Every structure is written in structure tokens, then in C-alpha cells.
Chain A
Amino acid sequence: GAVVSQHPSWVICKSGTSVKIECRSLDFQATTMFWYRQFPKQSLMLMATSNEGSKATYEQGVEKDKFLINHASLTLSTLTVTSAHPEDSSFYICSARDPSVPSGANVLTFGAGSRLTVL
């Protein structure tokens, strides 16, 4: 099946620094990828939709200047958390539509997630 690779799996950084998370589709091309954030004991919250070759679409309440998304190729999307603060500590997960499922089905295949801790 379709595989999405996400790196790093965990990262610890100091407050005020920036952190980049990479999401790669390994055996398929993904024109669209989705970035989620999950706080402990809470659901996945869609942050933004990453579109290859164009600007990302951010959900309401998500600061686009803080969470920079770049989708420069058909297999790579990156999320950069700029000037990170402790409240940004969370589990960030990327996903893409599974191409092995018939078109029209929004079946997502997820990366392994990146756990960010901001000190």
C-alpha cells in the first residue's frame, strides 16, 4: 500500500527556535497532503492542506505565518513551526490520499507523526 514517511519522529527544541518537519510520499505522487495536529487525549485537528506548486490552504484559526508549509515537489511537503513556544508542543501528523483506493474516496494514509516538545 501507499506509504507516507515523516521525519523527524520526535524533536525537542528551545523556545523561539524554528523546527522543520518533512513528509514524503514514498511510492506515489501526492499533489495534496494534509497536516494535522493532535494534543493529548484530543482528536486530530486539520491545520492545513498542502498543494504542490501553490500556496497551502489553512484552516480557520491556524496562523499561516507561524506554520509555514511548502510543497515543492509531488513527493515532499514540509511544515516549519517558526518561533516555537511551549504551547506549540504537540503531535504533528501528515497524510495524503491513498492512491490505491478508488478515486473519490478520501481514504488517508498517515505518516508516523512527529512529536514536538518546545522547552
Chain B
Amino acid sequence: QKEVEQNSGPLSVPEGAIASLNCTYSDRGSQSFFWYRQYSGKSPELIMFIYSNGDKEDGRFTAQLNKASQYVSLLIRDSQPSDSATYLCAVNGLTFGEGTQLTVNP
């Protein structure tokens, strides 16, 4: 079982829609969870991180954490073509999932 699992996608949504990205993790003792965005050929950049169960909002992005289910998600509202990228989930900062490729169609 992989430590961090994500749906590889690709996920395709129309412009203006909500994109939902999911991540599960195997270590129940994990404390911190991160979402990064990576454009093709570039290094990752942080979107947001979350520690506590529930929702955390930052602009168009909302991270949701459910430690009981070992599940963390990222919602992107009003998706834009510029959001097209690979989204990486990281647990405890250092262990990354394989990423979900998102395409937002104009």
C-alpha cells in the first residue's frame, strides 16, 4: 500500500466549475497535510496546508481533512484554465502522492 494515494486522472472540468481532488494516506499518525501545484516542467508550489479536521479556505481553494477516514481533499471553485496543472498531496511535508493532472477547459 502506498503511503499517499491520489487518483492520477486526468481530471477534466469546464471553466467555472468546481474541481475536486482527493488524497488518502496510510499512516494514521500523520499530522500535517499539504497541497502543491506543479506546472509541467516546473517545481511544485504550495497552495495550502491543513492540520485540523474540517475545512480550511483560502480564496478559491478549500482543503478538507478527515483524519478518521485518512482522507484529505482539495476543492477549486470557479476553475480557470490557468489552474490546469498537476496537484500533489503531501503528508507530513515530505511524502508525496503521484499527483492528479487537472485540465480546465475554456
Q: Which residues of A are at the interface with B, using a C-beta cutoff of 8 A?
A: 34, 42-46, 93, 97-98, 105-113, 115
Q: Would A106 and B43 count as touching, CB distance under 8 A?
A: no
Contact A106 B94 (CB under 8 A): yes
Docked-complex contact B94 and A112, CB < 8 angstroms: no
Contact residues in A for B41 (Cβ distance below 8 Å): 115
Main secondary structure of the interface of B (DSSP, over half): loop
- In the assembled complex, the Cα of A97 lies from the Cα of B90 at a distance in Å of 14
Given contacts A43-B96, A44-B88, A105-B93, contact A93 B32 (CB under 8 A): no
Q: How large is the interface on B (under 10, 10 to 19, 20 to 34, 35 or more residues)?
A: 10 to 19
Q: Which 10 A-B pairs have the closest CB atoms?
A: A106-B93, A110-B43, A43-B98, A113-B43, A44-B96, A43-B96, A93-B43, A110-B44, A112-B43, A46-B94
Chain A residues in 8 Å Cβ range of B94: 34, 46, 106, 108
Looking at A43, A106, A107, A111, which has the most chain B CB atoms within 10 Å of its CB?
A: A43
What are 20 inter-chain pairs, A to B, with CB distance below 8 A?
A34-B94, A43-B88, A43-B97, A43-B98, A43-B99, A44-B44, A97-B93, A98-B46, A105-B32, A105-B93, A106-B34, A106-B92, A106-B93, A107-B49, A107-B93, A108-B46, A108-B93, A108-B94, A110-B45, A112-B42
CA distance A55 to B19 in the complex (A): 43
Given contacts A105-B32, A108-B44, 8 further A-B contacts (CB under 8 A): A42-B98, A93-B43, A106-B34, A106-B94, A107-B34, A107-B46, A107-B93, A113-B42
B66 at the interface (CB under 8 A from A): no
User: B103 → chain A, closest Cβ, in Å?
Assistant: 15
